[in-house]
Structure formats: structure tokens, C-alpha cells
Structure 1
Amino acid sequence: MPTSPYRGRFAPSPTGPLHAGSLLAAFGSWLLARQAGGEWRVRIEDIDPPREVAGAAAGQLATLAAFGLLPDGAIAYQHARGALYRAALDRLLLQGDAFECHCSRADLAATGGIHRRCIATAPRPDPAIRLRVPDGCHIAFDDAVHGRVSQRVDLEVGDFVLLRADGLWAYQLAAVVDDAAQGITDVVRGADLLDSTPRQILLQHLLGLPVPRHAHLPLLLGEDGRKLSKSDAALPVDATDPAGTLHGLWRCLGQAPLPAADRRTLPGFLAAATAAFQLDRVPTRAIPRSAAMHNANVAGDA
């Protein structure tokens, strides 16, 4: 476990403006970093150009600034870090922990997409590279919100992709390499990534990298019941009343309402929230986005 001073991070993908669910994850990770007297970094995860929206990264950074969530140090951009990912991949290949895979999605349809052996009938000119997950691979960790989490990586995930067939880096490898390179001690993010954590811990073990602490925060759901980033309800957050909006998200994090005097200014709210935040109050269940908006609207009544 990490022994260095606390360093957290927020790592959005530039696929559109920050919505309330993204802001909740940013706010929670910022709070824990500030409460620990540590650093809070921002990393733009821009390794999937086909999904990027022009200007989205700049807009996301502007939104964070409007809500007073200012990072420490320079912004990191994954598109400029390919040499780090290549070095890690080469090490895994040399160790025999990674291999070229010529299987297509159609090849793996009968196994539910879970790869345990290559079944391609012909080689591809553009093979992917996968991690060779050992048989019986069981990864367990303690999440600060969800408690003990365990996964049979071989059966539930299989040999997962590190380098895609289109030449783009896979999220799991890039996130692990970047967290180590940036000295991240605590990963605080949305619960949609809870099942990715065992894969990342496995990679950290194989690469000899430290394993950070984890806390996975509740997701906000749209009216259709899907998480906001997959929903038509993923609208940009309203920055006209940043303290009010953050107080709504504060309540979604299970926190007791702050006194009205502490919510009159954004700096005052952030200072009070940092002092009062209690991680053990954070719920494990997903929360409708309407609850966040309701909490923001009634903030003045508490």
C-alpha cells in the first residue's frame, strides 16, 4: 500500500462537457485529497481519438475551475505518454505475460467475449495484444466505500486487451502506467469502474508497481436508469450557482447539510465541506440525477 504523501487524481475522457456524475466524482476525489492535506492532479484520458469531441478537454478544465476544483501541478494528457505505455507493454511481452491475439469479436461471441485461448482460424494483419491472465487468478481488495471486493479475473474477464487492433492503447494499461508515473496513492472515482480495479491491480503486480488505495463513489443515473455518461440526461452542469450545485452533490455523497452561512460563497463552501466530509457516510447505491438537482434546489432550506 502507498506510504508516500496523499496524491489523488481526476481523469476525465474528453468526450463531451462535464455532467453532474463526472462533477460528483471530481468533487469527491478533490475533497479527500484536500482533507488529507495532499495533492490533487487532473489527467485528460485522450487515447481514443474517434470518441473525442473537439474542445471538450478545455471545456472540462474550465468547468472544474468554475467550481473551484483547481488541480496541483500541470495537466497530464495521455496522448503524449505513448512511450511509457510501450515500455510497460514490452516488459509484459518479454515476461511472457502478454501475447498477440488474432481473435475477432465474432470469434469470441460463443464465449460471451471472454478470451481464454486464441480460436482465430486465420492470422490478422493487425492483431491486438492481450494480457495472459493465469488460470485461477483471483484478485481481492478493500474499497473504502464498498468494502471487500473480489473477482475471478480469468473467468469473469479473461485475457483483456492492452493494445487494440486499431493501434490505440487500452484504458486498463494506460491508467495503471499513468497512476504509477504520477505517484497516485489514492484512486477515487465512479463505481462504474469498480470491476476494472482487479484488472488494474493484476497489471500492477505484474509490472512491479505500487497498488493505490481505492474508493468508488456512487453513480448518478438519468431518468432512463442508465449512468449519465450513457444517457441523454448527461447535460452540462450549471455553473451559475457553483456552491448550490456542489451542495446538491454533497448530499448525494450522503453528507449532512452544511449550515447556510457556509454556503454563501464558493470558497466558504469548499472550506466547510473539506472539514466536514465523512467517507463512511458515502452510499454504495446509485442515485437518480433528479435527486442531485433536488438537493441543490432545496439547499437553502436546510
Structure 2
Amino acid sequence: MGRPAGDAQVALSSIQPQPRISVNTYSPSQHPFTPAHCDRHFKRIGYGAMQLAGPHVWGPPTDRAAAVAVLREALELGINHIDTADFYGPHVTNQLIREALHPYRDDLTIVTKIGFLRGEDQSWLPAASPAQLRDAVHSNLKNLGLDALDVVNFRAPGMEGADGSSIGAALAVLADLKKDGLIRNIGLSNVDARQVAEAQQMTEIVCVQNHYNLVHRGDDALIDTLAAQGIAYVPFFPLGGFSPLQSGVLNEVAAAMDANPMQVALAWLLQRAPNILVIPGTSSVAHLRENVAAGGLRLDASALQALNAL
């Protein structure tokens, strides 16, 4: 994946300046992506709600009114899908989403995750027994105020990435819940290609959510496979997560394009593959607007060459 640093510098020198982007700039990122086997239409920039909870994704936000304002602004800016989980808080982000947005617009898709719980010591605990998965679905339904969940991602075990274990038993439970009408679509999170294939033998998968960004590209082959199948790929930590992306090359590309580095990192993801949906999270309305504006930033060949060399 590496290219000599000198090549990146040559590419940087040829980047053409662009006018500052705004949230009203039209771009292909506004085109909806409809996954195979799914009737939900996703604009390619969504919103991840995890940061609305308190520190370490635990407890309520410091400013509840500000959190509600971010969610409402997201929809005003044209976002039509929100990523959440009832173990964020726990329960906090789902309750905020309901407070801010219920009754929900018809075009809004709420994507949630199950497969983990939070311990009283704020730990993250795998919770994938049949009873735990069913309880998690009902908890999401209750706190979101829904009769059925648009998309449920099974978050597979493994704190440092996919552990490669079989997920068949969990998928069987989700498939039954789908038959019962409590889940409309099933996705996966924190999985490898073999686990995706295992799940697809049992039920239709509409999206995969894994760790991926400009400098964490282990899923390149999986992204291309899913794109060929019409399945959405949703990178979590698209901007580096709790340790934001740091790169001199990224900073230089951003400066040449009159954008900020995080906008360039999002634009790179949007141009990486047509099935990528980004869900950057923030608790700030100003930061939210910057993230959405990234959809109007188009990276030329020289910028892409420099970034791909990282």
C-alpha cells in the first residue's frame, strides 16, 4: 500500500486549488445508495450518534439540549440515516433520538447494533446468546419508539477487530426476528470476509460496518467484493475515532484544497467505492455542518495519488 514519500510530494504540488465548500454544494454523495435486498435509500453521508452520550460513551450528555439540536440539524442538512445502539450510554443515544426526532420522517432510516452490553464498570461485554439478542432488539424498539427496526447490525465478538469465530447461531436468531417482523433488514459489524460469507448462507445481508479509514485499510478486498454484490460498506471510526487521523500529507492536501483534514478524509472515503456510506459522529452542530460539506469536495487524481500513498 505504500508509495515513496517523494511521489506524494510531487503529487501535492500539482493539486489544483478549489473554492471553499459549503453544505449547499451539490455532489454525487447526495445520490441515494440502495443496497441489494433492501428498500431503504441511503444518502451517502449519514450520522453516527455514539458521541451524543457522555464521556466514554457512558451516561447522559453534558448538554442535552445541544445533543437534541445536533440530531435535528442533521435532518435539516439532508441526512437520512442515523447509526446508533442501545448499549451507547446505555440507552442514552436511542432516547435522545426519540426525543429529538419522533415521530420519524418516512425517509429516515435508523440503523442499530446488537451483540454487546455495558457493564456497571463501563466495560463492553459480548452479549450474543439468543435471549440477549432478543432482549436487545426489544430494548432498541422501546427506547426508539418503533414497532420494527429498519436495520439491525450484529456486532460480532472481538475488541480489536474480527475474531473469526462462527456467527451462525446469532444470525439464526436475527433471521427469526426478521420473520417475526421485528427487524426489516440485517447487517453485520466487526466481521471478516469468511464471517460475511457464513451469514449470507443464512439470510440476506444489506450492510457491513467495520473499522476502515484513510490509514486503516485492511478491508480493501472486502469493500470491493461487497460493492460487486451491491452491499453497503459503512466504515466506523472514519476519522480515526478517539484518536483523530494525523498526517502531514493529509494536512497539505487539505490546505491546497481550502478544506480541513477531516473533510478530505471523508471525501477520500466517498470516492474510494460507490457502496461506502460514511457516518461521522459529533456532538457539535458546527462540526456536523463541516462533515456534511465534505460531500461537495472532489479529490483530483493528484490528491488521490498523494493520499493513497499513505
Structure 2 length-normalised TM: 0.29
Please identify the structure whose Cα radius of gyration is greater. Answer: 1
Structure 1 length-normalised TM: 0.30
